[in-house]
Structure 1
């Protein structure tokens, strides 16, 4: 009785060893990465990546840059990019060939050799669907990147709105504090007169209520300011108590409505969320094509050889395939087709609503502009009246009550004007976000022929 072990000579063993070493060299290795026991946000601006003290106090552009570099959610989102690229690599690789074999030792009978079989085969169906699967993997990975870019754009837009609100509310707080100082001065004199019995409380009720209202309004503004300061700190990865120094004023609101409308016409090439939906649709379309191709019988081609116990050897091509009696991949085809239709509807709806949103915001901005134009001369007139009242009061020609009323009325007009300008700046920022203003004319992940 003979055995095939003599086939494995030292030279062949060396080749097998070298092949095994080469395969093992390309294998991934495991390395533990334990979670931290504690973590904390930055407690000063100097700990932020990219912070430059020369930019303090910061404008919107400086804040946006720091947000892109330090926002915790955006830094975490980078992991989704890595996962998408890993999935793309996995879906793009060729299927491994399948090697099989067996040994049949002679137990009894007239034979004088060990029987063996050997085969190698490749999944042909996987090769047929490789191209659409690769297209789907690439489109899916690019869609993830476009989605991450949209998250960045939205986060930058949120930071821009917070800067607008914080700067404009700081102006409102300064004006409200002036109004409260005047009303508190009058309130103190009235309270003293009431205590001395020279004035009835009922006759001063409206004046005392005005001071209380001014104090409540200032408290509301300060609470809102603190909340938005904490939101901005969170966007930058700072602790809540860290105050970001901002400029005292912003450029006056300006808007080119015609340019916004032109940009809205090409928004599908510029807005990352719309590009992501187009790429998602491309990926799902490729997935549907792969599912349709997979409905045909699973086919494997290869080569098989064998030897029986009497040393008779044979070999030739080998074919295996499944009979599509029950499963013709109809379930996966239906799921892929429904998913593609869902993306089609979602993209069409968002494209339509994006233009509607632009038109609505432009109409609101035009209304605010009309209100500002109407209020500006009235505010200037009230400021002149307040200046004259102050001079008359110092000259003894006007009592304190009349002077305070006129000065507070002027302050209220100024605050109303600031509120309108704040709303216009907010609309301006929202429109820039909607049309992707500031984004490239065509993104890297743009869809050809879309």
Structure 2
């Protein structure tokens, strides 16, 4: 390069612009440059908004099994239980796809943090107007020593930050999967309750008709008729509310899975009665403390901030920039040398960055402790609620067992003409109300089981 510049400077047609162009051309030849490719945002809009393809879902779950849920075969024709639906949600939820793209950014940041700074080359030239002198030139090469000295801390910070991002993404996947499971469990219970509510509405309609006849015959009061009419309004409203809840749940589940609103997927979630009395809140909390992905992400975030604090403290010391140079003036006299540039730590000393880094580290520590307290409280509350539901469900089950033969006996008596139909219909309406209440408790238990697993961070039953 020195011989090239010397010959170039002796040339009378020497031109600074051509020299710089040549240098830039040499750099572009020596290094492989990235090339821009345009990617329109709506290029695949039609495929993104298309209905879910069960065949493709089945293939994707086999090719990309989730690390959070057990490996399951998914029949494209269905029906799908809640665990299969949770697995599908991990793969197809649009929000999770966007979150996984953030994971790619974090990995790119780790890659960027591992790169060393490029060598800085400086070229200068002067063409004198006087006679008897020669063209002058200068060439220098500089390297930022500070970036090399801080490289380890920078890379450690980026790796911990990437680990935090990946665990946060995994926690989002866990959350979405269990939200889908919860909705899948809710749907069949609502459908069963709606069937009973419709039956109760018909019974209330029959009671209203019978009471109207009795009032006309002088065997009942107008107060009784008003009560029957209110009961019919209540049962009708309950049936309509359950119908709305069913459609809302179905649409929410479709949204979670990334399906179109009108798509009817083969859901068939089933629930098994669990014994919650054997669970211990303290043991579940210890499991959550070690396994919950958001808590692990917070620990990684704290480690990243530890590295950031170390980086800020190291940056307070003078970091040199080393430059080597070679030059010729117009006389011509050749020279070569080196220079070191330092920032004197007199006033700034990077104290602002250190203060921010330490304050951020303390904030992350407090946030982690707060999340632990919140997790412990949530587990205790949910477990207590599940145990309460189990107790209440058992009492209701016993009441239903007692009512069943009584209802049957009343029905037989009505057939014989020994009991008025209105008496049987009144008892039957009460029995239907108890059945709906039992289904509501079973739904609460099934959903609470999923919520407890979500809070603990692992599957408690497989």
Cα shift at 1:432? 0.5
Cα shift at 1:30? 0.9
> 1:270-311 CA distances to partner (integer Å, 9 max, x unpaired)?
111111111111111111111111112231123222223334
1:174-323 correspondence runs (5 A): 174-191=195-212, 201-247=222-268, 249-255=270-276, 257-258=278-279, 261-323=282-344
Q: Secondary structure at the match of 1:49?
A: helix
1: CA distance, partners of 2:289 / 2:86: 24
Name the structure 1 match of 2:29.
21
Q: 1:433 to 1:95 in 2, by over 3 A?
A: same
1: CA distance, partners of 2:454 / 2:224: 53
1: CA distance, partners of 2:374 / 2:318: 44
Q: 1:184 to 1:45 in 2, by over 3 A?
A: farther
Pairs aligned (count): 431
Q: Secondary structure at the match of 2:57?
A: coil
Name the structure 1 match of 2:103.
81
Q: 1:396 to 1:126 in 2, by over 3 A?
A: same
The answer on 1:381 being equivalent to 2:422 is no
Q: 1:123 to 1:306 in 2, by over 3 A?
A: same
Name the structure 2 match of 1:445.
none
Q: 1:16 to 1:246 in 2, by over 3 A?
A: closer
Cα shift at 1:195? 7.1
Q: TM-score if structure 2 supplies the norm length?
A: 0.85
Cα shift at 1:143? 0.9
Name the structure 2 match of 1:41.
49
The answer on 1:95 being equivalent to 2:117 is yes
Cα shift at 1:138? 0.8
> 1:132-153 CA distances to partner (integer Å, 9 max, x unpaired)?
1101111111111111111111
Q: 1:19 to 1:231 in 2, by over 3 A?
A: same
Q: 1:41 to 1:186 in 2, by over 3 A?
A: farther
Name the structure 1 match of 2:390.
369
Q: 1:102 to 1:16 in 2, by over 3 A?
A: closer
Gaps of 5+ in 2: 12-21, 60-73
> 1:68-122 CA distances to partner (integer Å, 9 max, x unpaired)?
12111111222211222222222321111211132233433764x3332222121
Name the structure 1 match of 2:78.
56
2: CA distance, partners of 1:69 / 1:429: 19
Q: 1:28 to 1:248 in 2, by over 3 A?
A: closer
Given that residues 4 and 114 in structure 1 are in contact (C-alpha distance below 8 angstroms), is that contact kept between their aligned partners in structure 2?
A: no
Q: 1:404 to 1:248 in 2, by over 3 A?
A: farther
Q: 1:3 to 1:154 in 2, by over 3 A?
A: closer
Name the structure 2 match of 1:5.
8
2: CA distance, partners of 1:223 / 1:349: 38
1: CA distance, partners of 2:284 / 2:235: 44
The answer on 1:116 being equivalent to 2:137 is yes
> 1:381-407 CA distances to partner (integer Å, 9 max, x unpaired)?
112211111121122121111101111
Name the structure 1 match of 2:428.
407
> 1:303-350 CA distances to partner (integer Å, 9 max, x unpaired)?
222223334323233211122333321111111111111111101110
2: CA distance, partners of 1:4 / 1:61: 76
Given that residues 306 and 313 in structure 1 are in contact (C-alpha distance below 8 angstroms), is that contact kept between their aligned partners in structure 2?
A: yes
2: CA distance, partners of 1:317 / 1:122: 11
Q: 1:50 to 1:259 in 2, by over 3 A?
A: farther
Q: C-alpha root-mean-square deviation of aligned residues, in Å?
A: 2.9
The answer on 1:66 being equivalent to 2:74 is no
Q: TM-score if structure 1 supplies the norm length?
A: 0.87
The answer on 1:431 being equivalent to 2:452 is yes
Aligned residue among 126, 130, 139 for 2:151: 130
> 1:333-392 CA distances to partner (integer Å, 9 max, x unpaired)?
111111111111101110122112111211222222221222221111112211111121
Moved more, 139-148 or 98-107: 98-107
1: CA distance, partners of 2:419 / 2:56: 55
Cα shift at 1:243? 3.4
Q: 1:63 to 1:291 in 2, by over 3 A?
A: same
Name the structure 2 match of 1:395.
416
Cα shift at 1:130? 0.8
> 1:194-230 CA distances to partner (integer Å, 9 max, x unpaired)?
6788866444222232222111111111111111111
Q: 1:270 to 1:354 in 2, by over 3 A?
A: same
